[in-house]
Amino acid sequence: MNLRKSFFLFVLSFSIALPSVFAEPVVVYKLSKNLDKAKASIKKKNKEVLKGSFAQGEIIFPKLPRITSIKTRKVSGGADSRTAISLLPIAENKRRIKFTEVTPGSHVKLSYYVEPSKTAATEPATLYLSIWAGRHKLDRLVIVEEAGWHEKKYELGMVGFLLSPITLSFELTVDQPVRAYLNFDAEVIR
């Protein structure tokens, strides 16, 4: 009798777990749709921190020109057109954007594209993008001007099983002045 009961419980547990193994990935959070909830700042070389505020569909920095704003827009990168968060790197400054209250998932899919410089430069722009999940640094990407969109996937491990929201942060730096916009978006997938 115990063997029959054990077998029944095994079959029952397998039938419950099976659909989740073969389930299609589901996007539970998309950064470009939540820019209004993001916190942005610029840390200047002299350690001064400027905080941005969301107004009129973009994050603006009151003491800086409008070109420094962070916004979502439709971007064509080669044959592919996507809605992305767009920002201009500022030399010798750190641009940070932080998304709190992000629905947890099993991984993050980052898409990025650097638009070609608007000015004639002798060499293409090199940007550095650091990505964090909470306090854990996932990566520091070295991004150069290249044709088309690029994607990178980061596993979040056990984070997907958490019930509380997580924080995703991005930090952009550049060594030399450039006029090449970084366009990026990320999806948290369960």
Number of domains in the chain: 1
Residue 114 falls within a domain, yes or no? yes
Residue 95 falls within a domain, yes or no? yes
Residue 138 falls within a domain, yes or no? yes
CATH number at residue 137: 2.60.120.380
Domain range for 113: 24-189
Residue 181 falls within a domain, yes or no? yes
Angle ∠(163,27,103) on CA atoms, nearest 5: 25
pLDDT single digits (tens) 64-117 = 999 999 999 999 876 788 999 999 998 889 999 999 999 999 999 999 998 876
Residue 164 falls within a domain, yes or no? yes
pLDDT single digits (tens) 38-67 = 999 999 988 899 999 999 999 999 989 999
Residue 10 falls within a domain, yes or no? no
Residue 15 falls within a domain, yes or no? no
Residue 4 predicted with pLDDT over 70: no
pTM: 0.82
Residue 80 falls within a domain, yes or no? yes
